[in-house]
Structure 1
């Protein structure tokens, strides 16, 4: 079997399990978990925020460890951490026990992304890397979409579902052990790598934009199931339809590079922040209906992946000599925003109405639009991005390997 196929298949499965199952499925099953374990909205928000925080820590550790011990070891560790975390979720007898294992499962997402990027660079021919990365990225939306039908069939049996998910993670650990390369990452091209980046104006504004977008997104990622349960009386089985809509529509976000090249980074950024805010409002405000909720979920999935692609382009332009670091700044800040946003949503939901909480989070998404990218080259053909169209499309392909890595 060709290296591209082996690495692509392993990466697809690993990303689907870590992101779709270990990280985002908690929000899908939250209403049933809350009922069975008597979780308050505040505690549910803290737990979900803890999983996002674990991602922030894990991705930094993973990037360094991938260089030192190789992609295979770190990818296997990611799958094992996901499996153990979900096994613990299935067996949790109390809220505090649940919190520990949700955070552990969330850490697996940060562990999973860097070794897959290293594995592609190490084992796949340059001509096939973009195609392989595209396959790997598809795992995120696929994992989210696949968790929906599982919820439709086994919505009230969330412990059994997480046992099934854990089994899939352990199978991926074996797959990674057999199919991924064992060598360490490529040599760093210069001694600037590894140092902290200089925070110029564009990078600072990227931090602001990605923080607010990440915080806003937790309204759906962490509380989408809770919102639809409160608004429409949906059970976990019904909420599975929302997750299918989010995951299926996420593939449209892969067009970020093309749109930025055509219309400019700032225009695309602000347009899809409006789409993100609208999707949260459509799902969460009192006028919603089942059809509107599913439409809002689809808009959210497309907007979220599109915006992560925009932040990749922004980061790599802000640090053109250190593109990987530029990417990491944006994606880490998204996760920091999600850490804060999940806790804030639960806090507000305990104290004010759902209507007001949803409006606050829609406004957080719009607030990200106050941050802009300033092109370094006037008259660039890619209006606001400071990139040529070819560079943007290439950046989009890289974005699709990380797009939901935050």
Structure 2
């Protein structure tokens, strides 16, 4: 069956899955931290370590996925349906955590499953979209993550207000149930449209050579290294911001309703960012496009430095509008455009591993900074790593320009 436009039932269900994969399973933790701390205990530094544990699971998942796909080339849809179903169930399970260690184990499992689901859902959905519209399709899918943030923020009065100690538990159960429903819908859409057949055909030539080719492309300074390094530092920077922003706002005495609305504002702005960013990378498939969003994001994060609520809110809106969803969707689209089709799954998996590595380091380093210098400086420190990511993306754009002038294809 042929490819189709960016807006179709497969990408719509994939976007709903990303509500769970990104907004619920990973970033809701930062929103729920104050409530979790009141019931389970521990300092913000210690609870930040659970964020690191989550992304260790995410890294393990990305590392394991490529050889798993190579070992079972015709089973990618099967692996995806099992993964997405288990992700919803583990969210439900984590709601029943009674102590620090148990929650850590659930966070590890959620990280591992969300890594599988991120790569598989994107790969399956992109196979069903016309090449010239894959940036827009990627934007639509990543918009689900923004929607997840928006919804999570609306839970704030019931999850971080001291009068609702169990609120974060009920929210995670509801999120898990939604995840099971979204997984079922994506499965129905892909079966109905014949995507399973497409995927099998596209993945029918696996070999160790694919991974070797992927590493050569991604780690070569003359090809994609600057893009991947930018993705790494973005993961490092943004996760600090999303882990400690709500604790910082609560610590300033901002009511839970307003803190939740700020969080939802990031998600609402991200809804526009996903679609606009996808269109932009289709029209200007360059590292400069990515660098622009990251630069504005650096400015947005820096709003925390002022210790002014208005500037913090404006900065959060900028983050949501131009640099929350933009880097992942643009990196995904650039890889899809500039690597051979047979190595795309391997390249995306490896790139995601670099992203995960940054997210592992971020909460750990952020927790140390918070313990030493306080929440304000801890949140603001994410701007350093966002700025590095922007500079590296700019270098990748410069490299693309040189390669075009010398007529050397980036996929070499």
Structure-2 separation of matches of 1:369 and 1:278: 11
1:161 paired with 2:166, answer: no
Q: Distance in 2 between matches of 1:118 and 1:359?
A: 34
Matched residue SS, 2:215: coil
Q: 1:295 aligns with which of 290, 298, 314?
A: 314
Separation (CA, whole Å) in 2 of partners of 1:313 and 1:132:
9
Contact 2:23 2:148 in 1 (8 A): yes
Per-residue CA deviations over 1:322-380 (Å, capped at 9, x if unaligned) read 45544444433222101101111112211223343334322222223443114356484
* 1:170 alignment counterpart: 180
CA distance in 2, matches of 1:206, 1:15: 23
Shift in Å at residue 216 of structure 1?
0.9
TM-score (ref. length: structure 1):
0.80
2:63·2:350 contact (CA, 8 Å) conserved in 1?
no
The corresponding residue for 1:15 is: 18
Which residue of the other structure, out of 25, 46, 50, is the alignment partner of 2:28? Answer: 25
1:375 matched residue in structure 2: 399
In the other structure, the counterpart of 2:46 is: 43
Q: CA deviation at 1:125?
A: 7.8
Distance 1:105 1:238, change over 3 A: farther
The 2-side partners of 1:123 and 1:311 are apart by 19
The separation in 2 between residues aligned to 1:244 and 1:356, in whole angstroms, is 23
What is the RMSD computed on CA atoms of the aligned residues? 3.6
1:116 aligns with 2:116: no
Contact 1:16–1:142 (Cα < 8 Å) also in 2: yes
SS of equivalent residue, structure 1 residue 340: helix
In the other structure, the counterpart of 1:361 is 382
Q: Tell me if the contact between 2:134 and 2:333 (Cα under 8 Å) persists in the aligned partners.
A: no
Q: What are the superposed Cα offsets for residues 60-90 of structure 1, whole Å, 9 maximum, x if unpaired?
A: 4345545625344223222333223222321
Structure 2 runs not aligned, ≥5 long: none
Aligned residues: 383
**Equivalent residue number for residue 151 of structure 1:** 156
Matching of residues 269-348 of structure 1 within 5 Å: 269-282=290-303, 284-289=304-309, 291-301=310-320, 302-312=322-332, 315=335, 319=339, 322-348=343-369
Q: CA deviation at 1:262?
A: 7.4
| 1:276 aligned counterpart, secondary structure | helix
User: How far 1:297 sits from its partner (Å)?
Assistant: 1.6
**Contact 1:22-1:85 at 8 Å conserved across structures:** no
Cα drift, residue 215 of structure 1: 0.8
Say if 2:332 and 2:348, in contact at 8 Å, map to a contact too: yes
Unaligned segments of structure 1, at least 5 residues: 392-406
Q: How much does 1:30 deviate?
A: 0.9
> Is the contact made by 1:59 and 1:113 (CA closer than 8 Å) also made in structure 2?
no
- Counterpart CA distance in 2 for 1:126 and 1:261 is 10
Q: Distance in 1 between matches of 2:211 and 2:305?
A: 45
- Which of the residues 52, 55, 64 maps onto 1:52? 55
- Equivalent-residue separation in structure 1 for 2:236 and 2:40 (angstroms): 26
CA distance in 1, matches of 2:351, 2:403: 25
| Contact 1:318–1:326 (8 Å) recurs in 2 | no
Alpha-carbon distance between aligned partners in 2 of 1:37 and 1:295, rounded to the nearest angstrom = 32
- Deviation per CA, 1:156-184: give whole Å up to 9, x if none: 31111111112212333443454433555
Residue in structure 2 matched with residue 216 of structure 1 by the alignment: 237
Partner of 1:398: none
2:89 pairs, out of 84, 93, 116, with: 84
8 Å contact from structure 1 (residues 83, 167) kept in 2? yes
Distance of 1:76 and 1:313 partners within structure 2 = 23
Q: Distance in 2 between matches of 1:92 and 1:104?
A: 13
Contact 2:367 2:378 (C-alpha < 8 Å) held by counterparts: no
CA distance in structure 2 between the partners assigned to 1:45 and 1:209 by the alignment: 23
